[in-house]
A and B are shown apart, each in its own frame.
Chain A
Amino acid sequence: MNPVVDVKDLETTFFLKSGPFRAVNRISYSINQAETLGIVGESGCGKSVTSFSLMRLIDRPGKVTHGQALLNGKDLFKLSEPEIESVRGGQMAMIFQEPMTALNPVLTIGFQMNEQIEKHLKLTKKDAKDRAIEMLQLVGIPSAAERYDNYSHQLSGGMRQRAMIAMALSCNPQFLIADEPTTALDVTIQAQILELFQNLQEKLKMSVQFITHDLGVISEVSDKVLVMYAGQMCETGPTQEVLTSPRHPYTAALIESRPQMGHRIDRLKTIEGSVPAPHELPVGCPFSNRCSRVKSECWTIKPAFVNITPTRKIACFNPL
């Protein structure tokens, strides 16, 4: 079975005054039908730029400078502007982190949903409205018909995120990108949204790319995980395997530096220093200057991203 999404050697560069900055550096992954890939990493690791690249939402001074992204065999980067517009929001949709800024405050929820539904599903106004209300009901918004005429500020944070999800799913996407969809929410609301998300994915058989910095969330929603650091891939594999027995020192450090309920320790392990600025990136492995297992070759040679088992890959000369 061919994967629904197949990204190969994606590279996105921002041409800044201070010189080109590679936010995403040759990353590859694929997602099968009804599968969830979690992308995890700290701020600045390129996880959001990856999603924006796939949606073709990277604007100047940024540009996708290399690679391809196949959605059902079609390369998204080769599509013309009208062609990508017919895919974006239709076959491929995205949920953003901040529903307050992602929704238009001067248009009703219903208007914004209709726009999309009329365009992609080619429905009449009336049918589009029915479809929108049906979607709002599906994501668990009470009295959906009234909410349809509401503006985004009239909804609570959790409801707004539900409306965003309804909007993203309204045109039956095969591929959904969720960029930190629960980060702005409280934990009890987050739990509701994550459960809704999983139920909907099962029902609609979507392929999902789920981006978050929270390893706990990744563990609960994803089948496989990709750990990124400074725009590069560190480790990938089945989620539970990677999280319970990480091989890349960065993945291990990330897990250990997180206080975990029920695991009491006196001091947390830390990763010394912070993520290097783009112009300070080490020549060899990007993590070399913070790594506790660094060897001499790490400073000069960039480790290749290779298989260690048939399903797992890492980029490290001295894995755990």
Chain B
Amino acid sequence: MSDIILETKGLKKHFPIKKGFFLREVGSVKAVDDIDLTVYRGETLGLVGESGCGKSTLGRALIRLYEPTAGTIQFDGADFLHAKGETLRKSRKDLQMIFQDPYASLDPRMTVGQIIEQPFHIHNMLNQTERRQRVKQLLELVGLKASHVNRYPHEFSGGQRQRISIARAIALDPKLIICDEPVSALDVSIQAQILNLLKDLQARLKLTYVFISHDLSVIEHVCDRIAVMYLGRIVEITSRDELFKNPQHPYTQALMQSIPAIGLGKKKMSKILTGEIPSPINPPSGCTFHPRCPYKMDICVNTTPALRGTPDHLRSCHLDSNMESKFKTNTTTQKELL
């Protein structure tokens, strides 16, 4: 797995805050700050974190739905961030997105057929009859009926709508799809259907996913590699197996312990995080996690930790290896319980 499809270096997205009559810039929301990320062809990379951690902003910045403030993006070996005109249009074809809310991401005044046909319109591909045929194929591919083509989105349930947005996303045979919380608006039984569909399509169409979710159990189910985000930065990134076996960042650890599990009985949460997620307008100094971290040291307040460790397992934490062994014992006990 050395074939890189997307690579970012030092990617930043800051939203300016403007105030007063002349809309002077008084500060900025550092939604995404200094992200180095590599996505390999054919894999599913998970971005996980709580609200406000910048995972959706990062997802959008990756495909330039938000123009990044700084940094570089290489897509398929070419500079994507500075691509313009025809080159950009061509790359856009290979980068698609599935949004969280299937009630908001489909135009209520268009039929399903028109919605799925849009990408062909925009990229001026295929003639009328070919388009019709392709739309029907796509509908069947995502588990809907070809006869649904003339219906409107409101006639479908949430799960079916999400299937429509998936059909739209795969219409142009993209290489990479950003899935932004594609199942969090759905009921569990429907969620399972959509997750299975995404997996099937990936195998069939050789897709690469960047999968954004706040739900670690969903992330564990679908992803090969996982990046944990906190306040606009990646705090830990490694393979799925490694992350769940050996989480090294205290935040990852806390996140895992916060997830309610079935069958453990009424339990007292042993080590839950205190405090709340600070505002990204005015993030804490040093390591942004230090106000909530149970292992806070003096250095954490002053120095921002760099991503370090082995190339396969990076984390940004000042803790040294003897702390890691402490984590390990914690996780094994948790695994045994599960």
Chains A and B come from one and the same complex: yes
Name A's B-contacting residues (CB within 8 A): 42-43, 156, 158-159, 186-192, 194-195, 198, 213-217, 219-223, 239-240, 243-244, 253-255, 257-265, 267-271, 274-275
Contacts of A265 in B (CB 8 A): 221
Is B338 interfacial (CB-CB < 8 Å)?
A: yes
Are A270 and B262 CB-contacts (below 8 A) given A188-B273, A192-B274?
no
19 contacts between A and B (CB under 8 A): A187-B255, A188-B254, A194-B260, A216-B261, A219-B263, A220-B264, A220-B265, A243-B262, A257-B188, A258-B217, A259-B217, A261-B217, A261-B220, A261-B259, A268-B195, A268-B221, A270-B192, A271-B189, A274-B189
A215 CB to closest chain B CB, in angstroms?
6
- Determine the chain B residues whose CB is within 8 A of the CB of A188 once the complex forms: 50, 254-255, 258, 272-273, 277
User: Are A259 and B221 in touch, CB under 8 angstroms?
Assistant: yes
Output the residue of A188, A221, A267 with the most chain B CB within 10 A. A188
Does B312 touch A at the CB level, under 8 Å? no
- Report yes or no: B244 in contact with A191, Cβ–Cβ below 8 A: no
- Contact residues in B for A240 (Cβ distance below 8 Å): 263, 265
Distance, CA A44 to CA B216, complexed state (A): 26
CB distance from B3 to the nearest CB of A (A): 23
Which of B159, B264, B273, B338 lies in contact with A274, CB distance below 8 A?
B159
Determine whether the beta carbon of B218 is less than 8 Å from that of A259: yes
B277 touches A186 (CB 8 A): yes
**Min CB gap A225→B, angstroms:** 11
Asked if B24 CB lies within 8 Å of chain A CBs, one says no
In the complex, what distance in Å separates the CA atom of A219 from the CA atom of B260? 8
Q: Please, how many angstroms separate the alpha-carbon atoms of A183 and B183 in the complex? A: 15
Instruction: Decide if A220 touches B266 in the complex (CB within 8 Å).
Output: yes
Chain B, 179-211, CB within 8 A of any chain A CB: 187-193, 195-196, 199
B48-79: CB near A (< 8 Å → 1, else 0) gives 00110000000000000000000000000000
The residue from B190, B196, B216, B269 contacting A195, defined by CB atoms under 8 A apart? B269
Q: Which residues of B contact A42 (CB under 8 A)?
A: 187-189
Task: Using CB atoms, name the residue of chain A closest to B190.
Answer: A274
Q: Bound complex: CA of A259 vs CA of B218, how far in Å? A: 6
Taking CB atoms, residues of chain A closer than 8 Å to B214 are 186-187
- Enumerate chain B residues within 8 angstroms of A261, measured Cβ to Cβ: 216-217, 220, 244, 256, 259, 261, 338
